[in-house]
């Protein structure tokens, strides 16, 4: 017995949030990839410098590898938290945009119409999207794919924090 799949990307009942068209899933994915590459570049320099310093002062390879892993995990919040907080809280037309979203011409808007603040960006991106939904890989995958069939093109994390991703 086969289970019918939900329809793939139905037409939204309303194609606009605050008078702006919803973003397509493809634009969201492309913006995510751009943000991933930006963050990778931002991690690269301090991570390489820390690894050079660790291997310069450590004779034991196992110890150096342990300290390198610690450096990597320490850099993730040091780089990621300011990236989301500072880019998404910008005023005017850039509010709700990371550099990836800006490059793809999309932005996050709150359902209430309030601007995205740095604290709200951290709540959305880090606490809900990455920690809450990122605990289980399958849940994160479902969250990632959800806009493909959602009437309002929202991911699960968008529904939790009442946001839309729209064309900028």
**Domain extents in the chain:** 20-167
Flag whether pLDDT at 92 surpasses 90: yes
Cβ neighbours of residue 111 under 8 Å, at least 6 residues apart? 17, 162, 163, 164
Q: How far is CA 163 from the centre of its chain?
A: 13
Flag whether pLDDT at 11 surpasses 50: no
Flag whether pLDDT at 12 surpasses 50: no
> What mean pLDDT comes out for the span 14-37?
90
**Predicted model pTM:** 0.80
Rounded-to-integer distance, Cα 58 and Cα 67, Å: 9
| pLDDT tens profile 52-70 | 888 888 888 888 888 888 8
Flag whether pLDDT at 27 surpasses 80: yes
Rounded-to-integer distance, Cα 134 and Cα 76, Å: 15
| pLDDT tens profile 128-146 | 998 898 888 899 999 999 9
Q: Tokens for 23, please give them.
A: 């973003």
**Can you give the C-alpha Rg of the chain in angstroms?**
19
């Amino acid at each position: 017995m086969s289970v019918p799949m939900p329809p793939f990307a139905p037409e939204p009942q309303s194609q606009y949030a605050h008078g702006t068209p919803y973003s397509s899933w493809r634009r969201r994915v492309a913006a995510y990839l751009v943000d991933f590459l930006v963050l990778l570049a931002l991690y690269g320099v301090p991570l390489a410098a820390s690894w050079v310093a660790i291997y310069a002062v450590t004779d034991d390879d196992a110890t150096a590898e342990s300290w390198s892993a610690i450096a990597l995990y320490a850099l993730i919040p040091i780089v990621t938290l300011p990236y989301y907080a500072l880019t998404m809280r910008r005023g005017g037309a850039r509010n709700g945009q990371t550099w990836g979203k800006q490059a793809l011409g999309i932005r996050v808007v709150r359902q209430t119409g309030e601007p995205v603040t740095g604290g709200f960006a951290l709540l959305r991106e880090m606490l809900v999207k990455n920690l809450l939904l990122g605990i289980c890989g399958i849940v994160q995958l479902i969250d990632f794919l959800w806009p493909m069939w959602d009437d309002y093109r929202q991911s699960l994390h968008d529904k939790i924090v009442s946001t839309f991703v729209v064309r900028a």
